[in-house]
Amino acid sequence: MQVSVLASGSKGNCTFIEMEGSRLLVDAGISARRIKQELSNIGQAIEKLDGVFITHEHSDHINGLATLTKKYGIPVYSRPETFRAMNCYRDIPQECINPIMDRVRINKLTVKAFGIPHDAADPVGYSITGSVKCVVATDMGFVDSNLRRELESARVMILEANHDVDMLKNGEYPWPLKRRILSNRGHLSNIDTAWTLVHLKQKPQKVLLAHLSESNNLPELAMKTVRQILDQQGVKNMELILTAQDRCVSVDF
């Protein structure tokens, strides 16, 4: 079983998950050509994908979707409102479109969509469950008790650590954009991410820190902040892994 974050950040997001013989993508925010190349680099074929699950309609999550579906006919799953909000909706072959509200069965896997707080039509995270559970949860303004329940018991988690609050506040972004990122429909800070993990009762073994801002965060700062809080709170045996915008990061589980 394998999780490979092909790309993660404001320029494009795409995650590959192989479990129980099924092969899924979560988001397709990079070009179909790059998706094909990155999959080939890890020994996987784009033609063997069983489905693409879209979290929301922002361009950094769907940039490659139209080409991916037209060229390879891969089924796409997302909330109905998300499909309607996509700027590429009319370019996706209708036979590829599969609206879902709650969960869907893909071979031996159950994929559940759960709502997240973000400034999009109907944004979701996904839990993929077979013999173990993997969760993808990015682009969230905050994590409440209901959302924590969705994260519980994951073996592997792709979790947003978008920004350092001081870097964002003191950076060059205009104030309306800073306010959006800091809002409860924006993005999680490094500190938010750490405390989300602390409060989980059944903690993941591996956490891939994702969607790091190139302007308002640093990989080493994200890692240091999250690790320091986990250590201070006595959280042990949790492996933290940094994802990247320009390279694939893979873990086996």
CATH code of residue 201:
3.60.15.10
Give the span between the Cα atoms of 250 and 160, in whole angstroms: 16
Instruction: Report the pLDDT averaged over residues 169-175.
Output: 97
pTM: 0.97
241 and 3 Cβ atoms separated by less than 8 Å? no
Q: Which domain holds residue 7?
A: 2-252
Confidence of residue 253 (pLDDT cuts 50, 70, 90): confident
Tally of domains within the chain: 1
In terms of C-beta density within 10 A (0-12 exposed, 13-18 middle, 19 or more buried), how is residue 220 classed?
A: exposed
Structure tokens at 162: 């978008």
**Per-residue pLDDT reduced to its tens digit, 50-83:** 999 999 999 999 999 999 999 999 999 999 999 9
Phi, psi (rounded to 5 degrees) for 232? -60, -30
What tokens were used for 112? 């559940």
3 state DSSP class of 213: coil
- C-alpha span between 183 and 48 (Å, rounded): 39
- The Cα–Cα gap between 88 and 141 comes to 25
Q: What is the pLDDT of residue 201?
A: 97
